[in-house]
Structure formats: structure tokens, C-alpha cells
């Protein structure tokens, strides 16, 4: 674990309320030749980071048992301090030039047919890490030409020259998570801007990329605000959406405002489909890369 993760996210201290039954996940026991061990060995052997571990995702064992993982580029220290996120915040190290190759080799070893690549924010770099994304995608393509590649990117401060670098790698899916409703941005993600994130998604959509975004609920938003946010995402061309429950990583992180009931997620799925999203994954444990290979529009075919 990165020692920076032990630093309190804020001066507040409020333990999360007890989880309802629908959020309690049974983790499988470690078994010989368990796929979870296989993925762990591939990741650790390549000295790689995954958002599964760095963000303390509740679905880690489930996804790794399916031999899937979301690779996290550019280190495990983020330059932004979002109040909900469990990724370490601080001054990042220099990029590892071998990381793109290691990710590609790991994806090949796992025999993946759908790879998700994300990164920490690297506001310290002139290109925000865009060239690092491009190199990684290209090396995966060389080794797994049939593999679908999804990139989950930061906003790059809406610098078009950096976005163009990422576009040139021709990812199958361009994902940028909006995370929450406009009113809560200053509290939830103070270094981000609602309109800027929408601009990034609109820019990618107009370039012909298949665009995707995600929201985490239970931060204090109203249902009406979620509806408006979904409308905003559709208006800029986003075609895929995920909605999941916020789970407070530690008592010093942003407190959970509410545990959203499963039936509300079901209703939001229907609302999203009615708006015209091609795919809507909505549920308490859904995350942006949860069953990412099944979220794609071509999965049904």
C-alpha cells in the first residue's frame, strides 16, 4: 500500500453507516489456481497498479475471478484531492517508461478480450499523461489485435492538443466520469469542473469516438438532479452510462449521505434508456469498469 493512503483525506472523522444487506459482498476464499491469484501475480509481477486496489473497489475479487482488471497508469499518486476517492494524493513520481510495455504484456498473459486503462491525474505533466496512454494502447494493439480497448481518462484540463494525442491511439471506448451532479462538484471534486467535463465528452463525441461516463450516487444529490445530469450527458453525445453507490473508503473521506435502494437504480436504468443511452449499467455495486466487457453496445450481438 502507498503510505500516502494512510494520510487522512480531511480533518473530519465520521464513520460510514452500516451497509444494508444489498451492499454486503461475500468474498471468496483463496484457492489453489484461483483466477484471483493469477491476476494478482500478473499485476504484481509486472509492478503494475490497478484502480481495483488503489481505489479500494468492492468488486475486486469478483472481477479478478473473471480474469479482468483495470490498469492504472502513471503511478499511484494523484495530483488532485477529491473528497470521495481513495487513491493517494501528493507529488507523483516520474513516469516509468517501461509501464506501457508491462501493461501490454500483462494483458496478453491474461488473454483479455476487453482491456480498461485509466490513470491518476497528472497535472504536473505538460500533456497530462496523454502520450503515456497512447503508447500503452498501441502496444496492447500489437499484441492483442482483436482486443477491445477502453480508456478512462482525466479531463486533461480540456486542452485539445492533449485530447488529440489520446484520440490518435483510436480507443474503442472513450470514458470520462462526470462522477456527480453540478451542485456537488465544489465539495466532491473541487479540482474538476462540471462544464469542463461535459466539454471533454462532447469534444470526443464530435470526433466520432464511442463515449461513456459514470455517476456515483449517495453523495447528497436529489433524484431530479440525477435526471438533469443524465440529460446533460446525452446532450453532449454520451452513449454509455454507469450508475453506482458511493461507498465511503475511510471515516475521513466524504460521508455517505444515503444508501440508494436497488429499485431506484432500476428506475434510473429505465430513465436512461428512455433518454437514448445505448447501454445503461445501474446498480449499487456497479462501477465504471464493472463487467466492462458486457457494457459495450456490441455485446448483445
Radius of gyration of the chain (CA): 18
In percent, the amount of the chain with pLDDT more than 70 equals: 79
Write down the mean pLDDT value for the chain.
86
CB-CB contact of 77 with 2 (8 Å) = yes
Q: In this structure, are residues 240 and 232 in contact, taking their beta carbons and an 8 Å threshold?
A: no
pLDDT (0 to 100) of residue 30: 46
Domains annotated on the chain, with CATH:
30-295 (3.20.20.70)
Task: Establish whether 78 is an annotated binding residue.
Answer: yes
In 3D space, the residue among 91, 54, 128, 89 whose CA is nearest the CA of residue 287 turns out to be: 54
Task: Tell whether 57 is in a known binding site.
Answer: yes
C-alpha cell belonging to residue 283: 446498480
Please tell me the predicted confidence (pLDDT) of residue 29.
45
Return the pLDDT at 41: 64
Residue 122 has pLDDT above 50, yes or no: yes
pLDDT at 301 over 50: no
- CA–CA gap between residue 22 and residue 247 (Å, rounded): 13
Question: What is the maximum alpha-carbon separation in the chain?
Answer: 50
pLDDT band, residue 109 (cuts 50/70/90): confident
Q: What's the whole-number mean pLDDT along residues 85-99?
A: 91
pTM of the model: 0.87
Higher pLDDT residue, 23 or 43? Answer: 23
Q: Which long-range contacts (CB under 8 A, 24 or more apart) does 263-267 make?
A: 264/223, 265/217
Torsion of CA 235, 237, 239, 245, to 10 degrees: -50
pLDDT one-digit tens code per residue, 213-233: 999 999 999 999 999 999 999
> Would you state the pLDDT for residue 48?
60
Lowest mean pLDDT, pick from 6-10, 152-156, 262-266: 6-10
Strands (E) in the chain, as ranges, are 49-50, 70-73, 77-78, 88-89, 114-119, 148-152, 173-175, 211-217, 240-245, 279-282
For the segment 257-262, the average pLDDT, to the nearest whole number, is: 97
Quote the pLDDT of residue 55: 47
147 is in an annotated binding site: no
Going across the sheet that includes 173-175, the strands are: 49-50, 70-73, 114-119, 148-152, 173-175, 211-217, 240-245, 279-282
Q: Is the pLDDT of residue 54 over 50?
A: no
Question: What band does 287 get if pLDDT is binned at 50, 70 and 90?
Answer: confident
Amino acid at each position: 500500500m502507498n503510505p500516502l493512503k494512510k494520510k487522512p483525506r480531511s480533518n473530519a472523522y465520521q464513520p460510514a453507516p452500516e451497509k444494508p444487506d444489498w451492499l454486503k459482498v461475500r468474498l471468496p476464499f483463496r484457492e489453489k489456481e484461483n483466477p484471483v491469484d493469477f491476476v494478482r501475480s500478473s499485476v504484481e509481477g509486472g509492478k503494475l497498479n490497478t484502480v481495483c486496489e488503489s481505489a479500494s473497489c468492492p468488486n475486486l475479487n469478483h472481477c479478478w475471478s473473471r480474469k479482468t482488471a483495470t490498469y492504472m497508469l502513471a503511478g499511484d499518486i494523484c495530483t488532485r484531492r477529491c473528497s470521495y476517492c481513495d487513491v493517494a494524493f501528493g507529488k507523483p513520481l516520474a513516469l516509468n517508461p517501461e509501464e506501457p510495455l508491462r501493461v501490454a504484456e500483462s494483458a496478453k498473459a491474461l488473454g483479455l478480450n476487453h482491456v480498461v486503462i485509466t490513470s491518476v491525474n497528472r497535472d504536473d505533466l505538460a500533456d497530462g499523461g496523454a502520450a503515456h496512454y497512447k503508447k500503452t494502447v498501441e502496444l496492447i494493439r500489437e499484441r492483442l489485435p482483436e482486443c477491445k480497448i477502453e480508456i478512462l481518462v482525466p479531463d486533461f484540463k480540456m486542452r485539445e492538443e492533449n485530447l488529440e494525442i489520446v484520440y490518435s491511439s483510436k480507443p474503442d471506448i472513450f470514458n470520462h466520469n462526470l462522477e456527480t451532479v453540478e451542485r456537488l462538484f465544489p465539495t466532491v471534486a473541487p479540482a474538476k469542473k462540471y462544464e469542463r467535463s461535459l466539454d471533454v465528452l462532447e469534444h470526443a463525441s464530435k470526433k466520432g469516438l464511442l463515449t461513456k461516463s459514470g455517476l456515483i450516487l449517495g453523495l447528497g444529490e436529489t433524484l431530479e438532479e440525477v435526471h438533469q445530469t443524465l440529460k446533460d450527458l446525452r446532450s453532449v453525445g454520451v452513449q454509455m452510462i454507469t450508475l453506482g453507490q458511493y461507498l465511503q473508503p475511510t471515516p475521513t473521506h466524504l460521508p455517505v449521505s444515503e444508501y440508494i435502494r436497488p429499485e431506484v437504480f432500476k428506475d434510473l436504468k429505465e430513465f436512461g434508456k428512455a433518454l437514448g443511452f445505448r447501454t445503461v449499467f445501474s446498480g449499487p455495486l456497479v462501477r465504471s469498469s464493472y463487467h466492462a466487457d458486457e457494457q459495450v453496445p456490441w455485446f448483445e450481438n
